[in-house]
Amino acid sequence: MIAKRLNRLRAAAAAALLASLGAAAPAQAASGADLLKSQCIACHAVSKPEAASKERLLSRKGPDLHYAGVKFNKDWLVSWLQNPTVLRPAGVAYSHVVKAGEGGVADTVDASKLTPHPKLAAAEAAAVADALMALGTGDELVAKGAFKNDPPNASMAGLLFNKLRGCASCHSAKPGAGGVSGPELYSAGDRLQPDFVVEYIRNPQKFDPHVWMPKLDLNDGDVQKLTGYLMTLKQGGAK
């Protein structure tokens, strides 16, 4: 009898100690789908929008992600979500953040109007990356094998990017150079899938109706050269 009472007292004391320390069973980690709903959809479309209007394009806070699975490289996503860098120096819609220059001075970007992307913990980043990589894979937006992976002629491809096709007017191939109205491309080789790059250069409006990047009607040779060049651009510059 005495032993049983002692055991009960010990159990009660242990329970009281755990309660006083705030001990609790660990919460279940949120799934990638739950995180997309709670942290991403306020700024990004993770499903294809029903209305593809210019107004929606100009009012969105972040780029569409409903085809993220055929656009991004997963390893890059996991890393970037933990430590986001500026991909679009002038935001999603540059007209909202450009400050007009006067007296012949060039327009500038008002950085105070740009919202930093939140950081995720490692487990959250991995879960979100998994969820994003499942998006758009059944939409047939990107043909597998579109990029032929021919050895790039770096000098010719660089000339196409910087001079002949006008890419550098909106994009930068190295930090501090080129345009800012489009996303930077000096990390394109880390960030983007080459088949996506081929298809996007061919027809940007297939992915983003009304987007201001022009359909250049390039021949396949130039598309392949540009894509091969972009795939050589890694974080920190061309390699």
- Taking 60 as the threshold, does the pLDDT of residue 41 lie above it? yes
Of residues 50 and 75, more confidently modeled: 75
Question: Which tokens hold the place of 135?
Answer: 């998006």
Q: Is residue 88 part of a domain?
A: yes
Q: Is residue 26 part of a domain?
A: no
User: Which residues have C-beta within 8 Å of that of residue 42, sequence separation ≥ 6?
Assistant: 61
Please state whether 91 falls in left (phi above 0), alpha (psi between -120 and 50) or beta: left
Q: Is residue 141 part of a domain?
A: yes
pLDDT digits (tens, 9 = 90+) for 118-164: 999 999 999 999 999 999 998 889 999 999 998 877 778 788 888 77
Query: Is residue 122 a contact partner of residue 77, using CB atoms and an 8 Å limit?
Result: no
pLDDT confidence of residue 27: 46
Count the neighbouring beta carbons within 10 Å of the beta carbon of residue 183: 19
Q: Is residue 16 part of a domain?
A: no
Query: Is residue 196 a contact partner of residue 70, using CB atoms and an 8 Å limit?
Result: yes
Q: Is residue 4 part of a domain?
A: no
* pLDDT classification of 192: cutoffs 50, 70, 90: very high
CATH number assigned to the domain comprising residue 126: 1.10.760.10
Q: Is residue 25 part of a domain?
A: no
Total structural domains within the chain = 1
Q: Is residue 9 part of a domain?
A: no
Of residues 113 and 196, more confidently modeled: 196
* pLDDT classification of 16: cutoffs 50, 70, 90: low
Mean predicted confidence (pLDDT) in 189-194: 98
**What's the mean pLDDT when you consider all of the chain?**
85
Q: Is residue 84 part of a domain?
A: yes
- Taking 70 as the threshold, does the pLDDT of residue 238 lie above it? no
In terms of residue numbers, what domain contains 116? 32-238
